[in-house]
Amino acid sequence: MNNQQQKRTLAVETLLVHAGNVRHNVDSTALAIYPSTSYMADSPEQLDEIMAGTTEGFSYSRHANPTVEGLTQAMAQLEGAGTVIATASGMAAIDAALFAASLAPGDTILLSRDLYGASLNLAGKVWGQFGVKSFMEDFTNLEQLQATLEKLRPKVLLFEVLSNPLLKVVDVSAVIAMAHQVNCQVIVDSTFTTPLMIRPLALGADMVIHSATKYLGGHGDAMGGIVAAHERYKEALQQYIKLRGGILGPFEAWLIHRGLQTLAVRFERQCENAWQLASKLDKSGLLKTVYHPFLPNHPTFATAKRYLPSHLGGAVVTLELFGGRKAAYTFLKSLRVVRSATTIGDVYTLCLYPVLASHRNQSEAERLEMGITEGTLRIAVGLEHPDDLFVDLIQAIEKAAQAN
Ligand SMILES: Cc1ncc(COP(=O)(O)O)c(C=O)c1O
């Protein structure tokens, strides 16, 4: 009997939606992508248990998705976390962490002064609308921080281990201990440091966030965020994804999980490339300042040596040209291998001009107070050969000097 003669038991419309929708019980080596938005339980009783959270399983992808769970389980092990959620972006992860901290009107968030600009705005503008106050402090000045903590008694403290773009290293354990003394919860943004450089939960932090868009994904093709937290935040974080709904999609989760599998080799090479560039550029005498945590003239050199693994000083180098904006523009236009783009963590080396991008909302006086001048440029080092990067940077620096 050929296909024409075969009698259909169901109408073509029914077949079109159901045919081929087979469920395989296979053991694939790679994480599978499940784009399904909903899942069938074996029985109404089982569905009831899944919905109640008494049985593990899936019902609806905003609540839980098997591919996303592959990523969150990996991150829980990497960060030593009791609970992990994956969000649509790093910003959503910070928002989720602030939500899980149970902030109420009148509460205070204390932020490190050189935090990512959008994080400062999220706290100040978005949470500010709900009556939450936010203040900034220099987290590398422990004496001043102690006094501010005692005065403000904040409910939450949020900082990055490596500051952006000047790469100051915070004394994480000391800050956590000081915060806990005044009953303040600690959220660490470990985007620049990855779980390879530091594991803040093991040092006592309450929550860790990552922009997975950066090193975790690593290829500049997926946006995502991670909150890794102590078990006590599980309910609040689940509520955030179920009710606010800023979840990570399965395709992005798959890409970020695949990125994680090569994170160690990528990040170690990127850190090595960054260190080679930093030390050679520092010796070149062609720059006003070169910032890298392991350069002995860096203001937080001693803390960096204490906290960071000796081969992982981060994959970012920041340069200060002798000239101002004109020199910086010439530098950016002269780059041939390095790409001018705003992010970090990709396989390509990327250069960001803070005055135009990350710090464009700060006044010049505010930037100068942070140490960012019109000649400051951030290089997020990729996987190219470091000699090609050095040659490219030197020729751009020389052209910038002529434009000055
Ligand atoms: C340190 C840091 N945290 C958070 C974010 C926000 O992440 P996303 O762009 O994935 O929302 C960024 C983005 O640049 C960042 O650099």
Annotated active-site residue 155? The verdict is: no
- Looking at the domain assignment, is residue 13 inside a domain? no
**The domain boundary residue, chosen from 261, 276, 307:** 261
1 pLDDT above the threshold of 50:
no
Whether 8 is covered by a domain: the verdict is no
Q: 211 CB under 6 A from ligand 1?
A: yes
Cα 211 to averaged position of ligand 1 atoms, centre (Å): 5
Cα 188 to Cα 207: distance, rounded to the nearest angstrom: 6
Residue nearest to atom 7 of ligand 1 (CA): 90
In a domain, 156, yes or no: yes
Q: Is 170 exposed, middle or buried (0-12, 13-18, 19+ CB in 10 A)?
A: buried
Co-location of 221 and 294 in the same domain: no
Atom of ligand 1 nearest to the CA of 92: 11
| pLDDT tens figures, 9-21 | 899 999 999 988 8
Pocket test for ligand 1, best of 170, 214, 318 (most atoms within 8 A of CB): 214
User: Is 214 a residue of the active site?
Assistant: yes
Mean pLDDT of 35-46: 94
> Does the residue 174 lie in any domain?
yes
| Average pLDDT of the chain, as a whole number | 95
Is the domain of 198 the same as that of 62? yes
Residue 336 and residue 231 in one domain: no
Say if residue 233 is in the same domain as residue 279.
no
Judged against a pLDDT cut of 50, whether residue 79 lies above it is answered with yes
Q: Which residue CA neighbors atom 14 of ligand 1 most closely?
A: 343
Q: Which of 95, 107, 114, 116 is catalytic?
A: 116
Catalytic residue (choose from 107, 114, 171, 189)? 189
Residue 183 falls inside a structural domain: yes
Name the residue among 44, 75, 385 with its Cα closest to residue 227. 75
How many domains does the structure of the chain reveal? 2
User: Does residue 51 register a pLDDT over 70?
Assistant: yes
Residue 260 has a pLDDT of 98
Q: Collapsing DSSP states into helix, strand and coil, what is residue 349?
A: coil
pLDDT tens digit sequence for 218-235: 999 999 999 999 999 999
DSSP element (H, E) containing 275: helix 263-284
Cα torsion through 50, 53, 58, 61, rounded to 10: 130
Q: What is the pLDDT of residues 122-166, one digit of tens each?
A: 999 999 999 999 999 999 999 999 999 999 999 999 999 999 999
82: in domain: yes
What CATH number should be reported for the domain holding residue 226? 3.40.640.10
160 CA: nearest ligand 1 atom: 1
pLDDT band at 4 (very low <50, low <70, confident <90, very high): low
Q: What pLDDT is attached to residue 6?
A: 65
Is the same domain home to 304 and 169? no
Domain termination site, one of 229, 261, 293: 261
Distance 364 CA to ligand 1 centre (A): 23
400 lines ligand 1 (CB under 6 A): no
Q: How far is the CA of 365 from the centre of ligand 1 (A)?
A: 24
Distance 90 CA to ligand 1 centre (A): 5
pLDDT of residue 2: 55
Co-location of 137 and 78 in the same domain: yes
282 CB within 6 A, ligand 1: no
* Structure confidence by residue, pLDDT tens digits, 98-115: 999 999 999 999 999 989
Told to judge if 307 belongs to the known catalytic residues of this protein, a careful annotator would answer no
Residue 378 backbone dihedrals phi, psi, to 5 degrees: -105, 130
Interval 361-365 mean pLDDT: 87
For ligand 1, whether the C-beta of 90 sits within 6 Å is yes
For the Cβ of 87 lying below 6 angstroms from any atom of ligand 1, the answer is no
Name the residue of 87, 112, 116 to mutate for ligand 1: max ligand atoms within 8 A of Cβ: 116
Task: Give the tens place of pLDDT for each residue, 281-300.
Answer: 999 999 999 999 999 999 99
pLDDT of res. 263: 98
CB 212 within 8 A of CB 195: no
Query: Is 48 a catalytic site residue?
Result: no
Domain CATH for 390: 3.90.1150.10
Which residue in 155, 214, 266, 378 is the catalytic one? 214
pLDDT digits (tens, 9 = 90+) for 169-199: 999 999 999 999 999 999 999 999 999 999 9
Domain range for 90 is 44-261
Q: Residue range 386-399: average pLDDT?
A: 98
Number of other CB atoms surrounding residue 70 within 10 Å? 22
Q: Which tens digits make up the pLDDT trace of 297-353?
A: 999 999 999 999 999 999 999 999 999 999 999 999 999 999 999 899 999 999 999
